[in-house]
Structure 1
Amino acid sequence: MWSREYLGGENLIKKGVKMVKVKSYANIAIVKYWGKKDAEKMIPSTSSISLTLNDMFTETEMEFINDEDIKIAVEKEIKSENCKDKFGDMTDLFYLNGELQDSVHTEKISKVVDLFRKNRSQKVKISTTNNMPTAAGLSSSSSGLSAVIKACNELFGKSYTQSELAQISKFGSGSSSRSFFGPVAAWDKDTGEIYEVKTDLRLAMIVLVLNENKKEISSRNGMELCAKTSTYFDEWVKQSEIDFINMKKYLAENDFEKVGTLTEENALRMHKTIETANPPFTYFNEKTYEAMDFVKNLRNNGEKCYFTMDAGPNVKVLCLEEDLEKLAGIFEEKYKIIVSKTVKL
């Protein structure tokens, strides 16, 4: 068991009703999780390693509500939206960045809450806020789902350990499981373990926000298509196993150059599965390629920085904490950026 400080949990009383407030951090993978070997048991095709980022996070409040609360909220939304079907059969309320979500999105969160409650008669209101663009390939789901898991653990009076919550969280979002550990976390596809990876490197990231719009193909749908149709997928899985072993070795040896080089190679291999899917597609745009070249040119001129990309167009730049301020100054002249050190959990 770990301290409440780790959870970011805070029990509040609001109008006589218990409410909990938690905070959880996003993580960005340097060895990617991409594909499911067994979706039902949530066994990934690839092991993964990520950085948990202090300045990219989700804050979530959760409280018990009743049928009348749901009725009032839905009626208010229907009047403004003029769309009754969109909010039909709501058993919980889910607000994302201040907006009531429709029944489809709410049901996804309700199924996560079901992992903690006895039945749907225990209705909840979930209010969650991301400090980063949502569904734009910036790992908002990793902080968002892990925050819901933490809030449920508090609200329903459970006492699950850090490792137990990580295991539960992967069924809501695979990547969210790594947000329970930091500054560097691993998810082993063979053992199923999720744990902290030890290194003396003080790593950081600069996110180049190239497009804040919601991506057209979700990570879940993208990885499913690649796993089923990509002609490169089997090779990706084999090489990823080697990458996982090597990355842990390089981190243990505190070899930043090798960590950075492998980070780039692994990201490009993941995106090769996308290019070789049927039909092929891409998460990149012209600005993505320009940013990758910009990072390469900086490195050729002596700067210690490496790129990685997830299921989205935005580029993340891996660097050392000691170089963060200098590099942030360079990148902010050209891009909108999010700068973050890692967080110890």
Structure 2
Amino acid sequence: MLSSIIKEFSLRHQELENKKIDSLYFGGGTPSILEAKEIGKIIDEANRYFEFNPDMELTLEANPDDLNASFLKEIKNIGINRLSIGTQSFFEDDLKLMNRAHTASEAESSIKRAQDFGLENISVDLIYGSPTSTMEQWKQNLAKIIELQVPHVSSYALTIESKTILDNWINQQKIKSPDEAFQNDAFFYMSEFLKENGFDHYEISNFGKPNFHSKHNSSYWEYKEYLGIGPSAHSYDGKNLRSWNVANNTKYIKSLSENQLPIEREELNENDRYNEMLMIGLRTQKGVDLMRFKNSFSSEMISAFENSIQQKIKDGILKIENNRLIIPEQHWFMADGIAADLFLV
């Protein structure tokens, strides 16, 4: 796999126009199953083609049970300076429901251990609205974040995908279906609690203390170009071309061994770009840059857009501040639906 990733770098590095980068992210699965020396070789390969900014963000996604002392020491030595830990919860019942391999005690000890190795830029994933959780437990999960001095949280409502184990359990009445009202209450409690404790609620699902916002994810939300390397990785040219690699490892490796890129591509039409810019922008604290938005589309589309937002502005569901279109935070839980109402079809 490592040789295939390096081969893909050699074939695709020219796709990024900006050769000076400020983030490299190992994620979209469990990259911590790679050996640290393999991760280091990928970092070196990226640095062959791109100039790293002095304050480069090098993030590794990891599960708590992967973060033993020797691995932490090794990743620190190769330059990893940010961890995104798939904690999900500090309660056993939640972890068992989500079929997590780690225990509640491992969830906490992995964070402390990383901090002991000087890895203080840590993001923790938390899931709220589980049928095994109560509001009191959710409050304790969030209090644990403050106690552990974690500077970034990514948090999502538990969703049930069709034909999964959880879906079957709900159909068999082994567990209750997630309660939307509870998830709504949990979301707003989290937002207020974390803000009171020094976090910025800068994207619907993301909270960071000043100087700890995710540089990498922020580039997605600001509609910048990015290059994804490896199976299933997605890329975007910052204009109208998206691409993604095949998910199958065997097909990925075979294709590159034959000097073929394992890629599928999609060219976004004007409607697609319009809808995406609204969907992504309205999920953020900054909102949609109206100057950029209006310069990106035809006068007919902008006229239709301006008509579509008027009633929502009157109703207080949208607002314009500093030439940016924003969803007021009290409506963020319904942001995707609000954005969808503005879509062109």
TM-score bin, normalised by smaller chain: under 0.3
Larger gyration radius, structure 1 or structure 2? 2
Larger proportion of helix: 2
Structure with the larger RCO, 1 or 2 (CA within 8 Å, 6+ apart)? 1
Relative to the length of structure 2, the TM-score reads: 0.27
